[in-house]
C-alpha cells in the first residue's frame, strides 16, 4: 500500500495572524467579563465563574503558547509555557474539588498561578507590541489583559484565604468578621461551596489602588499579596500606555482594524 505523503502546511500569512490575534483579544475580553458577571451573582453563577477561569487558562495557554506567532510550540519556552498552563488547569480542579478543611490543597495552585499569569501577561504585552497600529482590537487586548490581571489576583487571594482562613476581614460596625462563608449558611464541604466574590472585589480595589477600607488583609501573606497587586496594576497600565502611544502615530491615516 502506497504511503501518502502530505505536503507541509503553508505558513500563516501576516494578515491571517493579525486576524487570529484580534479574535484572541476579543475572546479573552468576553471571558473575563463573563467571569466578572458571575462574581456579581455568586449565589447562582459561581459554577459558571469556575468554568470561566478554566476557559481563560485554556485560551491563554493555546494562543500565547506559540499559535499567535504561526507555530505550535516552536521552542522550549513555548513547550514549558503550555505545560505550565496544563498544570494550572489541573491545580485549579484539584483545589476546587478538595474538602475545605484541606488547607494545603491550594499551595500548588498558588505557586503555579502566580508563575503562569505573570508569564502570560509578559507574552500578551509582547503580542500587543507586534501590532503595527493602535487599532480598536489592540485596545480590546490591552483592556482584557488588565481584567485578566485583576481576576488572577482575585484567584490568588482566594487561595490564600483557604490556606490561611481569616487572611481577609470585613470591617463592620460591630468590628471585623470573616468574609468567606458558605453560600448555604452551613459549613462548606468543598472549596467550590465558598463565596469568594468579596475577595475578588478586594483584588480589583487593590489593583486600582482605590482603597475603600471595607476589607482588611489581616495576615502578613495577604498583606504582601495585596501590596504586590497594588504595584502590578499601575505598572501594567504604564507599560501598556507606552506600547499604545508608540503606535498611535502608525494608526494615523490607517484603518480602524477589524
For residue 12, being part of any structural domain is answered with no
The pLDDT of residue 251 is: 53
The pLDDT of residue 8 is: 46
Sheet (strand 168-172) strand order: 175-178, 168-172, 215-217
Could you say which DSSP state residue 128 is in?
H
For residue 2, being part of any structural domain is answered with no
The pLDDT of residue 49 is: 80
Dihedral of alpha carbons 109, 111, 114, 117, sign: negative
Burial of residue 97 (CB within 10 Å: 0-12, 13-18, 19+) is exposed
177 grid coordinates = 468578621
Query: Which has more confidence, 37 or 7?
Result: 37
For residue 23, being part of any structural domain is answered with yes
Query: pLDDT exceeding 70 applies to what percent of the chain?
Result: 80
Query: d(Cα 107, Cα 95) in Å, to the nearest integer?
Result: 9
Q: Confidence class of residue 257 from pLDDT cuts 50, 70 and 90?
A: very low
Q: Are 190 and 99 in contact (CB under 8 A)?
A: yes
Averaged pLDDT for residues 175-181: 70
Mean pLDDT of the chain: 82
- Unique residue bearing C-alpha cell 488588565: 146
Is the overall model pTM greater than 0.75, yes or no? Answer: yes
50-103 per-position pLDDT tens digit: 888 999 999 999 899 877 665 554 678 888 999 999 999 999 999 888 887 777
For residue 110, being part of any structural domain is answered with yes
DSSP for 233-244, written as a single string:
HHHHHHHHHHHH
The pLDDT of residue 50 is: 83
Structural domain including 163 reads 18-250
Alpha helices, DSSP H, located in the chain: 14-40, 42-64, 76-97, 107-129, 136-163, 197-207, 220-251
DSSP for 55-105, written as a single string:
HHHHHHHHHHTTGGGTSSS-SHHHHHHHHHHHHHHHHHHHHHHS-TT-GGG
The pLDDT of residue 150 is: 94
> Total domain count for the chain?
1
190-241 per-position pLDDT tens digit: 776 777 888 889 999 999 888 788 888 989 999 999 999 999 999 999 999 8
Q: Is residue 12 pLDDT above 70, yes or no?
A: no
Query: What are the beta bridge partners of residue 182?
Result: 194
Amino acid at each position: 500500500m502506497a504511503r501518502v505523503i502530505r505536503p507541509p502546511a503553508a505558513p500563516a500569512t501576516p494578515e491571517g495572524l493579525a486576524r487570529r490575534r484580534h479574535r484572541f483579544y476579543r475572546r479573552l475580553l468576553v471571558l473575563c467579563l463573563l467571569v466578572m458577571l458571575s462574581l456579581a451573582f455568586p449565589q447562582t453563577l459561581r459554577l459558571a465563574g469556575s468554568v470561566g477561569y478554566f476557559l481563560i487558562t485554556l485560551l491563554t495557554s493555546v494562543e500565547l503558547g506559540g499559535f499567535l506567532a504561526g507555530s505550535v510550540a516552536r521552542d522550549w519556552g513555548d513547550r514549558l509555557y503550555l505545560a505550565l498552563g496544563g498544570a494550572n488547569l489541573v491545580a485549579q480542579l484539584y483545589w476546587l474539588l478538595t474538602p475545605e478543611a484541606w488547607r494545603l490543597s491550594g499551595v500548588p495552585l498558588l505557586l503555579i498561578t502566580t508563575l503562569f499569569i505573570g508569564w502570560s501577561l509578559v507574552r500578551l504585552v509582547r503580542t500587543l507590541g507586534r501590532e503595527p497600529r493602535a487599532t480598536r482590537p489592540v485596545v480590546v487586548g490591552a483592556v482584557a489583559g488588565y481584567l485578566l490581571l485583576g481576576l488572577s489576583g482575585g484567584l490568588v487571594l482566594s487561595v490564600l484565604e483557604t490556606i490561611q482562613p481569616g487572611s481577609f476581614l470585613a470591617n463592620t460596625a460591630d468590628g471585623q468578621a470573616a468574609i468567606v462563608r458558605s453560600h448555604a449558611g452551613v459549613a462548606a464541604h468543598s472549596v467550590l461551596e465558598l463565596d469568594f466574590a468579596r475577595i475578588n472585589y478586594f483584588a480589583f480595589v487593590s489593583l486600582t489602588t482605590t482603597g475603600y477600607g471595607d476589607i482588611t488583609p489581616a495576615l502578613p501573606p495577604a498583606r504582601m499579596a495585596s501590596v504586590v497587586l497594588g504595584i502590578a496594576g499601575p505598572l501594567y497600565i504604564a507599560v501598556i500606555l507606552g506600547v499604545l502611544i508608540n503606535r498611535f502615530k502608525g494608526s494615523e491615516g490607517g484603518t480602524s482594524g477589524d
